[in-house]
Structure 1
Amino acid sequence: MHNLHEWHVENPHLTRQNRSQYQFKVNMWTGILNSQIIGPFEQPDALNGEVYLTFLQNHLPSLLEDVPLNIYREMWFQQDGCPAHYTRSVREYLDEEFPGRWIGRSGPISWPGRSPDLNPLDFFYWGAVKEKVYSKAIENEFELRQRIAEAAEFVNNGRFARKIARSL
């Protein structure tokens, strides 16, 4: 819903055909660490606090297994305003795993979930991925997943994460 924003000086009333509302959907998680994209990782369609906590405890560590321990101990974890990210159990886990180093609703660092300056995944990454994914009509859910993987690989190979990290 908030993953594609355009600002134009010459034509501030630009409109475009919306191609992102299809009958197929998948829920993906992605992260940026230094100049590396982590993921994407598919989440269940019905994301709630319990499911998200399971992801944080069981899947995120394997996604970060190649991160050196000294970097892991100093890295920050930021999330958007998704209600599943706000449950007490998730916040308690993040307080333990990233003490004083996580950004989100009711976290040690509270930040607006839709702030374009500190949420490059929503305001750049997913917009760029959606541009590639929805460039043509999608026939089925398998094709959607395949296009997401190809678009993510394109963004990763284009070293966009490095540019995103520098812009922060």
Structure 2
Amino acid sequence: MYDTQNDRVWAINREEADKNGGVKQKQNFPERVMVWLGVCSKGVTPLVIFDEGTVNHQRYIDEVLPVAWEYANKMFGDQWMFQQGGAKPHTHRLTQQWCKQHFPSFIDKSRWPPNSPDLNPLDYFIWDEFVHQSNGIKSNQKRL
């Protein structure tokens, strides 16, 4: 990725800067990336990476739920339950319908009280661990 701190061109405006050797670089990577990851007692699902756009219910149904379904069936056969959070793509009626039709057991949005983070301790643990692992900090190292 281009680091703008390395080069300086003094100019009044962009045109003058370009004439004097100014460079306008395009970023190699998007500024933000969304990911989805499923977690269960036997491990984690493959990452689903959304590097462009937002995730609406249709993208969630098309790109995430089949990954969750395939992984869970591989790990547990037909003896598993799917639970998701309260994000809009999760609670959309078509998402709920898809889950009820495809998963052997599913905790739907009517059984998941709003604003209840205590019901899902993984929200605290897994994302904290993910951030620390992605920054190169092992879980057994002291965190400051």
Q: TM-score scaled to structure 2, two decimals?
A: 0.60
SS of corresponding position for 1:39:
coil
Sequence identity percentage: 21
2:59 aligns with one of 43, 51, 54? 51
Is 1:35 the counterpart of 2:42? The answer is yes
Which range moves more in the overlay, 36-45 or 90-99? 36-45
Kept in 2, the 8 Å contact 1:103–1:110? The answer is yes
Is 1:85 the counterpart of 2:90? The answer is yes
2:107 aligns with one of 94, 103, 107? 103
Aligned length: 110
Q: How far 1:57 moved relative to its partner?
A: 5.1
SS of corresponding position for 2:31:
coil
Which residue matches 1:164? none
- Aligned-pair RMSD on alpha carbons? 2.9
Q: How far 1:126 moved relative to its partner?
A: 0.8
Separation (CA, whole Å) in 2 of partners of 1:36 and 1:104: 23
Which residue matches 2:26? none
Kept in 2, the 8 Å contact 1:80–1:114? The answer is no
- Quick one: higher RCO (CA 8 Å, sep 6+), 1 or 2? 1
Is 1:119 the counterpart of 2:120? The answer is yes
Kept in 2, the 8 Å contact 1:26–1:45? The answer is no
Moved over 6 A (4+): none
Separation (CA, whole Å) in 1 of partners of 2:41 and 2:79: 12
Give the greater-gyration-radius structure (CA).
2
Q: Specify every segment of 5 or more residues in structure 1 that has no aligned partner in the other structure, as ranges.
A: 1-22, 136-149, 159-168
Separation (CA, whole Å) in 2 of partners of 1:45 and 1:65: 29
Pair 1:114–1:127, CA change in 2 (3 A): farther
Which range moves more in the overlay, 124-133 or 57-66? 57-66
Residue identity matched to 1:49 = H
Q: TM-score scaled to structure 1, two decimals?
A: 0.52
